[in-house]
Structures are given as structure tokens and as C-alpha cells.
């Protein structure tokens, strides 16, 4: 069983527009009409749960939800066949907005809310449920930002609990939540570098810098560290090897990058649960992420499209 944890999920609202206009004079109204829009459950663990469910993998999604948007998330996940075990809170789950300019979909404009404040009693209720779910978990995914009110050390605590229960941990987050969890030695670490291209005090400005940062994390006890290099390339570092995963795909093919990085990680996890070699898992993961980025849907469900994408991907040792 795979358990995904998204402590700060969101409803993703995406708008496609002909052009983004910036108002530079004072006026009563300033209108940009959307050509189309979509609304769906979002957040790192949520996106991974949806992707795995579409491939027939049973999983349970956990986290906090509240208010009207919380009901949207639970409904969407259940419609996708995902089992949910969220803690309901006093507040309203956040909404994240993405603006996509036609012809420049490879450069999305994201506006993310910080999320509802979690009360101590809500956190305690979640931890009781989480501890209970670990009895069934072979893998645990800890993903995304932390909502206000949650201690940055919580992912480290949860990773240690999962490892003590015999589960492998996948960690995908950034900032203090990431650095404070490394001592728990997650099995897979994928830093979230969307906001800042840094890892701790290291600037991830080159392949050498990425490899050095990855080796530091492996030295802390992680088995696999995956760090994005560019939109169509990633670096994977293990104790024995460094891999570069690249695709020869023009960015002009991209329609929607939201969630694609989560699908990439979900694809790797999907293959590893089948005991596939890491090289195959990395290739499949990037193919799944690219297929999603090139799809009108946020998360691609078509296995034949993913397999076709794999033909344009190389995985080479550095």
C-alpha cells in the first residue's frame, strides 16, 4: 500500500488567456477574458495519488482539508478511485491559480496561497491517523509545502515513524521542511526548487553543483536524490552512480506544466514498486511527466502515450 501525505493541498484553478495584460494606469476595471479554465484537486501528494490510481495502483491520500474547497478535493480524489483519509479542519483549503498565455505555456504564472492555519488539536488528530495508517504502508510519500501552524520538523518526525514501521519514504518539499527531514534518511529525496534554485546554502546553477548537493544528501543516508536540472532534464544521485535523464522535446509542445513534476516522481515510484531497475524507473518517470506537460489534462492517463515518450528519453551515467 502507498500512502501519500499532502498537509497543504489546494484546488488548482488554471486559466488559458490569449495574452497577459498589465494595467499601467488607474482605471475602474481591467478585464482579461479566459479562453478556457479547469479546476481540480492539487498538491504534490494529491497529484501523485491521482496518477497512481489512473495506473491501477491502490493508494490512500492523507492531509488536511476544510470548507468548500476541501469538499472539491475529496470529491475529485474519490472520483479518481483514490481512498481518502483527510482530517477536516476549521478553515478553508487554499486555492492556487495558474495563468497560461497561449503560445507560452512553457512559462506558467503561478499564484499560490499560503494555506489555512492548522490548530494543535488538528495536528494531533492527524498524527494519530497517520500512525494508524503506517500499519498498512509499504511506501509513504511526504510532499509539498507546510501550512501555517505546522512545525517545520514534522516531515522528519513522520519520516522516522514510517521507517520504524518498515515503510520506505519519498520526500518532496523545500526549505526548512526539507533540510530538517534529511536526518531521518528518506529513501528518495526530491527537493522542490520551483521558488528558489537552491538546496540548503548551495546554488543549483550547474550540473556539478547539483551533483555535489545530491552527494551530500546521499551521505546523510538517502538512497536516491533527484534534482531538476531544466524542464526536460533531471539528475539522479545514488551511492554508486550519477544519472542524467534528458528528453529531446521542444518546449513548444508543452500545454500545462502544473503537476508534471509530481507525475515524474509518481512514475518513478510506480516502477520501483514493481521492482524495476532504477534506470527504467527514471526513464518512465520523465516520460510520464512530459506526457502530462503535453496534455490538455493536468495528469496524463494514457499509458501508450507515456511509452511513446520513452523513445525520446536518454538515461546516461555521468
Task: State the pLDDT at residue 310.
Answer: 93
Higher pLDDT, 60 or 197: 60
192 is catalytic: no
Cα 215 from Cα 209, distance rounded (Å)? 10
* Confidence tier at 195 by pLDDT (50, 70, 90): low
Element (H, E) at 40: strand 36-42
Mean per-residue pLDDT over the chain, rounded: 92
| Rounded average pLDDT over 74-99 | 97
116: left (phi over 0), alpha (psi -120 to 50) or beta: beta
Q: Is the pLDDT of residue 42 over 80?
A: yes
Cα 155 from Cα 147, distance rounded (Å)? 12
Q: How many CA atoms lie within 13 A of 140 on its CB side?
A: 28
Q: Is the pLDDT of residue 15 over 80?
A: yes
> Does the pTM exceed 0.75?
yes
* Confidence tier at 249 by pLDDT (50, 70, 90): confident
Task: State the pLDDT at residue 184.
Answer: 96
Which tens digits make up the pLDDT trace of 135-177?
Answer: 999 999 999 999 999 999 999 999 999 999 999 999 999 999 9
Q: Is the pLDDT of residue 99 over 70?
A: yes
Listed in sequence order, the DSSP H helices in the chain are 44-54, 67-79, 120-133, 154-164, 175-179, 207-219, 260-272, 278-293, 303-309
Task: State the pLDDT at residue 196.
Answer: 66
Q: Is the pLDDT of residue 55 over 70?
A: yes
**Alpha-carbon torsion 249, 254, 257, 262, what sign?**
negative
- Could you give the domains of the chain? 2-22+31-317 (3.40.1190.20)
Lowest-pLDDT range of 25-34, 218-227, 237-246: 25-34
Higher pLDDT, 6 or 30: 6
Residue whose C-alpha cell is 476541501: 70
Given 76, 234, 262, 296, the catalytic residue = 262
* Confidence tier at 220 by pLDDT (50, 70, 90): confident
Amino acid at each position: 500500500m502507498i500512502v501519500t501525505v499532502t498537509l497543504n493541498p489546494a484546488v488548482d484553478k488554471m486559466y488559458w488567456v490569449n495574452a497577459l495584460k498589465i494595467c499601467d494606469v488607474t482605471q475602474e476595471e481591467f478585464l482579461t477574458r479566459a479562453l478556457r479554465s479547469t479546476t481540480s484537486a492539487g498538491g504534490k501528494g494529491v497529484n501523485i495519488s491521482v496518477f497512481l490510481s489512473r495506473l491501477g495502483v491502490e493508494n490512500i491520500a492523507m492531509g488536511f482539508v476544510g470548507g468548500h474547497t476541501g469538499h472539491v478535493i475529496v470529491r475529485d480524489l474519490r472520483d479518481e478511485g483514490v481512498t481518502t483519509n483527510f482530517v477536516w479542519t476549521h478553515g478553508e483549503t487554499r486555492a492556487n491559480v495558474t495563468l497560461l498565455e497561449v503560445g507560452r505555456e512553457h512559462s506558467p504564472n503561478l499564484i499560490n496561497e499560503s494555506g489555512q492555519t492548522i490548530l494543535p488539536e488538528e495536528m494531533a488528530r492527524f498524527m494519530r491517523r497517520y500512525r494508524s495508517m503506517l500499519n498498512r504502508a509499504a511506501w509513504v510519500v511526504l510532499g509539498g509545502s507546510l501550512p501555517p501552524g505546522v512545525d517545520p520538523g514534522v516531515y522528519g518526525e513522520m519520516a522516522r515513524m514510517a521507517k520504524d514501521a518498515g515503510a520506505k519514504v519519498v520526500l518532496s518539499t523545500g526549505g526548512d521542511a526539507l533540510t530538517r527531514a534529511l536526518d531521518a534518511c528518506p529513501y528518495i529525496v526530491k527537493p522542490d526548487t520551483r521558488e528558489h534554485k537552491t538546496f540548503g546554502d548551495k546554488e543549483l546553477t550547474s550540473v556539478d553543483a547539483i551533483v555535489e548537493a545530491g552527494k551530500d544528501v546521499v551521505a546523510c543516508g538517502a538512497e536516491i536524490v533527484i534534482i531538476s536540472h531544466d524542464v526536460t532534464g533531471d539528475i539522479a544521485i545514488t551511492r554508486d552512480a550519477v544519472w542524467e535523464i534528458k528528453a529531446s522535446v521542444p518546449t513548444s509542445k508543452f500545454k500545462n506544466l502544473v503537476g508534471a513534476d509530481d507525475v515524474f516522481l509518481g512514475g518513478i515510484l510506480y516502477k520501483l514498486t514493481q521492482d524495476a531497475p532504477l534506470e527504467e524507473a527514471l526513464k518512465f518517470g520523465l516520460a510520464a511527466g512530459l506526457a502530462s506537460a503535453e496534455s490538455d489534462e493536468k495528469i496524463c492517463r494514457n499509458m501508450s502515450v507515456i511509452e511513446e515518450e520513452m523513445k525520446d528519453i536518454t538515461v546516461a551515467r555521468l
